[in-house]
Amino acid sequence: MEDVPYKLSLLIITCLIFFYGSKDKPFDWLPIVEPIVEIACVLHIFFTFNMNAMYFIVIAPTSLIPYDFGDVGTKEGRVEESNEAEDLQKQSKPYETPVPEPPVVEYKEPMYILLMQHASGAMMPYYFIFTLVISIMGCFYSKFFHSLILLEFFRQPAGVLVMKACMVGAPNLARSGVMGITMILLWACIGWQYFQEAITEVNYCNTFYQCTLKALQDGFRGDLNTMHGDDHGNIRGDYIPPEVFTEKIDYQMQVIFILIFFMLWEFILAGIIQGQIIDAFAEIRLNDDEKGRDARENCMVCSMSRFALESTNINFYDHIKKEHNPMFYLFFFGYLIDKDQDNYTGLESYVRENLDRCSTAFVPINTCAAQNQAKTDDSNEVTNAMLEETLTGMNSSLQDITSALNLLQGRVDSLAQTDDVAP
């Protein structure tokens, strides 16, 4: 429903462009358009009022409900934790080895981060009030106020992409703009110094300030012909070019001077600006592709790749949906915040301590329970195979020993029989 006022404003402005006549007779030649525009204005006020009511009655009050997050990530929480650790260390017996404290992660106060995250949300009340006021003024004062609602385009996906490109390429574009202004001012100064008489004959540049404004007006369009000539681009007006290159040298130098600016602007500076815009879009697309590829090929929790997981017979999609689902972790964090700390288990106490320090030591990085279980199973299989191989070798050795003993026993018996036969 949020894009309905934008579409209605677009409809109203389109009707004004194609069917609006004069102020006294706005829709004289097609009167049926006027009631359509009036109905669109009334609908615009209706939907805008509903959006304001929804925001100020439902969304805004729930966002203002205070919630106690304890001392998670605050400086006070870290100080209290360090004091408790020092007291426990002092109370420990001399023969007891104190447990080393985990390193405290230094980080900036989250005030700036929260301010950046909620800046857009903080402007939402003013935005809804602005749209309602513009909708009322567009209906009762002037229909052309609906053109301001067209700024809603920059909240659409296409507008957001354009704004991202502007933000990414803004520094380079600003430097290119400074370079363009510098070129125009340089050409204006040189032109006024050496071609002042020719310029004042065909233009109304009686002062250098007037010629500078004229140069800026024409230069940003890539052509200084109208500054050095008439409104039709003829240098020195109806001035006749020379018949040979040895005549009218000043006129030829003026033409070359203007052509050099034209070539530098059109073929170099304009190409640089277009390339910067294209590079900005390419950079945004590359970042989006990298984020999408990372989300498709790596687990958000353990950072293990799809190849590493599936090489150990672990289904990647089952892993990210059932074992390492980020929403499960968020639910667990909320559960710890709401639960009484006196009822914590050992694991819950360990995770809460890391949350208080803003540490991610409890997160399984590059490991998971399923992979560890698979490694354990593989190691057990290897051990069983080694034991079976050892037992097989021992059995063969026992058989060899048994056969040797039987052979020895036969020889002993034969020697005993020989001794009995002898007189």
Q: Which positions ≥6 away from 175 have C-beta within 8 Å?
A: none
CA–CA separation, 129 and 131 (whole Å):
6
Specify the range with the lowest mean pLDDT, choosing from 63-67, 119-123, 241-245, 322-326: 63-67
Looking at residue 85, its amino acid is A
pLDDT confidence band for 358 (50 / 70 / 90): confident
Radius of gyration of the chain, Cα coordinates, nearest whole angstrom: 42
Main-chain dihedrals φ then ψ at residue 219, nearest 5 degrees: -65, -35
Least confident window among 107-111, 156-160, 239-243: 107-111
Phi and psi at 222, nearest 5°, equal 85, 15
What residues have CB less than 8 Å from 378, skipping those under 6 apart? none
How confident is the prediction for the chain on average, in pLDDT? 76
Chain-centre distance for alpha carbon 255: 49
Among 139, 140, 146, 128, CA closest to 48: 128
- Give 54's contacts (C-beta < 8 A, 6+ positions apart): none
Residue 298: strand, helix, or coil: strand
Two tokens, residue 413: 């018996």
First to last CA, the chain: 126
Closest CA to 352 of 372, 331, 336: 336
Look at residue 311 and tell me whether its pLDDT is greater than 70.
yes
Q: What is the pLDDT of residues 123-170, one digit of tens each?
A: 777 888 888 888 898 888 888 888 888 888 888 888 887 887 777 778
- For 85, phi then psi, to 5°, come to -65, -40
Q: Which of 32-46, 193-207, 236-250, 286-300 has the lowest mean pLDDT?
A: 236-250
| 3-50: pLDDT as tens digits | 788 888 888 888 888 888 776 677 777 778 888 888 888 888 888 888
User: Which is it for the CA torsion 125, 127, 131, 137, positive or negative?
Assistant: positive
pLDDT at residue 75, rounded to an integer: 42
**Length in residues, the chain:** 423
Structure pTM?
A: 0.53
Burial (Cβ within 10 Å: 0-12, 13-18, ≥19) of residue 320 = buried
Q: Are 343 and 89 in contact (CB under 8 A)?
A: no
Handedness of CA 211, 212, 215, 217 (dihedral sign): negative
Q: At how many degrees (to 10) do helices 249-263 and 157-194 cross?
A: 160
Task: Specify the higher pLDDT residue, 60 or 210.
Answer: 210
What is the Cα–Cα distance from 79 to 43, expressed in whole angstroms? Answer: 57
Identify the bridge partners of residue 298 per DSSP, sorted by sequence position. Answer: 305
pLDDT digits (tens, 9 = 90+) for 259-278: 888 888 888 888 888 888 88
DSSP summary character for residue 241: P
